[in-house]
Amino acid sequence: MRSIGGDSAAEASPAGEVAPDGAFLDVHSSLTGRRWQARPAALDVVRAVMRAEGLSEPLARALVSRDVTPATVRDFLDPTLKALFPDPSSFADMDRAAALLVDAIEDGRQTVVFADYDVDGATSAALLVRWFRQMGRNLGIYVPDREREGYGPTPAVFRKLKDQGAALVITVDCGAAAEVALATAAEIALPVVVIDHHMMRATPPPAAALVNPNRADCRSGQGNLAAAGVVFVLLAALNREARRRGLFAGGRTEPDLRQWLDLAALGAVCDVTRLTGFNRALTAQGLKVLSSWRNPGLKALADVAVTGGEATTFHAGFVLGPRINAGGRIGRADVGARLLSTDDPEEARGLAEELDAFNEMRKQIEADTLAEADRQLAGAAGGPVLIAVGEGWRPGVVGIVAGRLRERYRRPVIIIGVDPETGIGKGSGRSQPGVNLGRGIQAAFDAGLLMSGGGHAMAAGLTIEAARIDELRRFLDRTLGDESARATEADCVEIDALLTPGSADRALWMDFNRLAPFGPGNPEGVFAFADVRPQRSMAMRGGHVRCDLVDLRGARLKAVAWRAADTELGQRLLGGESSLHVVGRLKPDDWQGRESVQLEIEDAADPRRR
């Protein structure tokens, strides 16, 4: 195996790997139109990291390229809550929020958690429900219907909750931008505690307390947390406040927050947050708790999905997450939160089966919408932000479709479904790294183009009159055009090491797996293979392509390219008539107990084409 990177890629790499202009394997435009380059890593820091932990050179280089230093390498490889847990008081309004919630516990006031309908909202709600339950109090759950009520709290919902007897409302994963709704809550004397992580204006709306690491005056430095992570810190603040008041002096056991780390990790992974610092520790420790499958709801969901064992980010993001989300996308919005909150195995089994059925329905609706939206974008002139619009497209799947098409077109994509009766469109967007879509949507709202809108850098939602969609397209082209152009120019495949099919073995995968959990801010290792020929290629159901990659010495590596059959990449793999440079991620291959590896292909390049 040869490694790459260094103070400059050309200096540190063996001859031939990096061109004088920095292109790895001299690939300037791959089959997906991207440049290949080595992840940058300063050689002196690489050597220091190797010495600090006795690591192999390729692994040390990968760590340094992910901004790990000799001082932080131990916490990165063994992230613990003890070392990385932030002071709850460093969050603006955290102490006030804790005091208000403990007041409600002591006074026995009826309290309701208002949660977003996705996994982050469901896990956030379940964390609070479980803490309240251990304190001897019930916490009501309210999750809005995505199609009838839209995103976030509204004046009507707050009035409804007040009429039903609520004396305190906690919003989770939403609320930070709900100025009108919170103003209404203040008018009707309904205290609202907001726990959120989305972008917001500089001046907080009129909440009783608003905890958001992304508010302008928050000094926590934890802006990468999902709402579930913020709620987990809130639970620590609640324990501290309850302890200060002597609530655990009379024999009541202080809640052990570690038992609920699985919920915090699930929220972090499914909301695609940056897995760095404390958020990495939260996720790493949470996946260990998830692996025990003690939460009845998660155990039931794993059973219907026919999975289990040691939990990874794959389980969280691709097995459990889509099923929990399915309730909010096309079914009953509160099913996910109730599943994660219940301690009754029978109830959990029924809710899990319901979510699994919703997920099967979601897949078909998503496939139909994806096909229509893809045809629309393929036939349109491409701007810096791609927008597809369709009548009757379900609001619950437009975000997934936007994500799929963002991967294909490698530009920000917004998918809008228009209600033919009202002429109102509800849309969701996913962005390309380097383009702050949430800021663009916020600017469009401030300019009066949207009925509602908000989000964060990589994802955003909006509501708009259908007649103004073209105006929105022009506005975003002007607002985000420069960012999008820079992002397109910077779009590249970053590579950790150059391997041969013979050197890509289980030991190498296990070494690099020490970097897990993977996610934004800590990508999986990406490896390149030069001059390999696809053999035994076959198209599989679902548009996937499977093949063997064989080098000049006859060494062979199994590989798969997901959803690639109708792309140039897939066609070249299926053709197999010439050698290719290939990059991808190694995955374990345990079929029939072989304990080997296979490559998930991300990209390929023709060695003859520069």
- Mean pLDDT for 255-282 is 96
Q: Rounded mean pLDDT of 234-243?
A: 98
More confident residue, 68 or 1: 68
CA pair distance 487, 513, nearest whole angstrom: 29
> Where do runs of H (alpha helix) occur along 245-276?
261-270
Contact status, residue 262 vs residue 130, Cβ threshold 8 Å: no
Q: What angle do CA 189, 195, 196 make, to 5 degrees?
A: 125
Torsion of CA 230, 341, 260, 162, to 10 degrees: 30
CATH 3.40.630.10 fits 84-356, yes or no: no
Report the distance separating Cα 155 and Cα 169, nearest Å.
Answer: 13
pLDDT band at residue 488, thresholds of 50, 70 and 90? confident
In terms of DSSP bridges, do strands 527-540 and 556-561 run parallel, antiparallel, or are they unpaired?
unpaired
Task: Look up the pTM and report it.
Answer: 0.90
Q: Token pair of 429, please?
A: 């967007």
Per-residue CA distances from 200 to 253, 458, 607 (Å)? 37, 15, 47
Per-residue pLDDT band for 272 (boundaries 50, 70, 90) equals: confident
> Which pLDDT tens digit goes with each residue over 7-21?
333 333 333 466 667
Are 430 and 406 contacting, i.e. CB atoms less than 8 angstroms apart? yes
Domain ranges of the chain: 2-40+496-605, 84-356, 380-492
Amino acid at 468: R
Length of the chain: 610
- CA 438 to CA 462: how far, in whole Å? 10
pLDDT tops 60 at residue 577: yes
Q: Give 423's Cβ-side CA count (13 Å radius).
A: 5
Integer-rounded Cα radius of gyration of the chain: 25
Which residue type is seen at 241? E
Q: Which two tokens stand for residue 359?
A: 């997920």
- The pLDDT-based confidence of 346 (bands split at 50, 70, 90) is very high
Residue 439 has pLDDT above 50, yes or no: yes
Please give the pLDDT value at position 610: 60
Taking only the tens place, the pLDDT of each residue in 173-226 is: 999 989 999 999 999 999 999 999 998 888 899 999 999 999 999 999 999 999
Burial of residue 307 (CB within 10 Å: 0-12, 13-18, 19+) is: middle
DSSP, collapsed to helix, strand or coil, labels residue 211 as strand
Q: How far out from the chain centre does Cα 127 lie?
A: 19
Give the N- to C-terminal CA distance of the chain in Å, as an integer. 24
Residue percentage of the chain with pLDDT more than 70: 96
Tens of pLDDT, residues 290-306: 999 999 999 999 999 99
Residue 330, pLDDT score: 86
What's the pLDDT score for residue 530?
Answer: 96
In 347-384, which positions are buried (b, 16+ CB within 10 angstroms) versus exposed (e)?
bbbebbebbbebbeebeebbeebbeebbebbeeeeebb
The stretch 261-275 carries a mean pLDDT of: 95
Tell me the pLDDT tens digit for each residue of 87-134.
Answer: 999 999 999 999 999 999 999 999 999 999 999 999 999 999 999 999
Q: Over 70: is that where the pLDDT of 397 sits?
A: yes
Residue bearing tokens 């990495």: 280
Please check the confidence at residue 245 and state whether its pLDDT lies above 60.
yes
Query: By three-state DSSP, how is residue 367 classified?
Result: helix
Is pLDDT above 70 for 1? no
Which of 450, 507, 522 lies closest to 479, judged by CA? 450
Cα(489)–Cα(194) distance, rounded to whole angstroms? Answer: 39
User: In this predicted structure, what is the pLDDT of residue 8?
Assistant: 34
In terms of average pLDDT, the best of 449-463, 544-558, 587-601 is 544-558
d(CA 257, CA 203): 32
| Residues 279 and 267 sit within 8 Å (Cβ to Cβ) | no
State phi, psi for 589 to the nearest 5 degrees: -125, 100
pLDDT tens, 43-58?
999 999 999 999 999 9
Q: Which residues of 542-556 are buried (b: 16+ CB within 10 A; e: fewer)?
A: eeebbbbbbbeeeee
Which residues are bridge partners to 454 per DSSP?
461
506, 547, 588 from 595: Cα distances, Å: 7, 18, 7
184-193 contacts: CB < 8 A, separation 24 or more?
Answer: 184/155, 184/158, 184/159, 185/153, 185/158, 188/158, 188/159, 188/162, 190/158, 190/161, 190/162, 190/166, 191/100, 191/167, 192/153, 192/158, 192/168, 193/97, 193/100, 193/101, 193/168, 193/169
Question: Is the four-CA dihedral 603, 606, 609, 610 of positive or negative sign?
Answer: positive
CATH class of 380-492: alpha beta
What pLDDT, on a 0 to 100 scale, did the predictor assign at position 380?
A: 73
Whole-number average pLDDT of the chain: 93
Task: Tell me which residue of 466, 472, 476, 467 sits closest to 392, measured CA to CA.
Answer: 466
CATH homologous superfamily of 2-40+496-605 equals Nucleic acid-binding proteins (2.40.50.140)
pLDDT interval class at 475 (50, 70, 90):
very high
Q: Where are the beta strands (DSSP E) in 481-550?
A: 492-495, 497-499, 527-540, 544-550
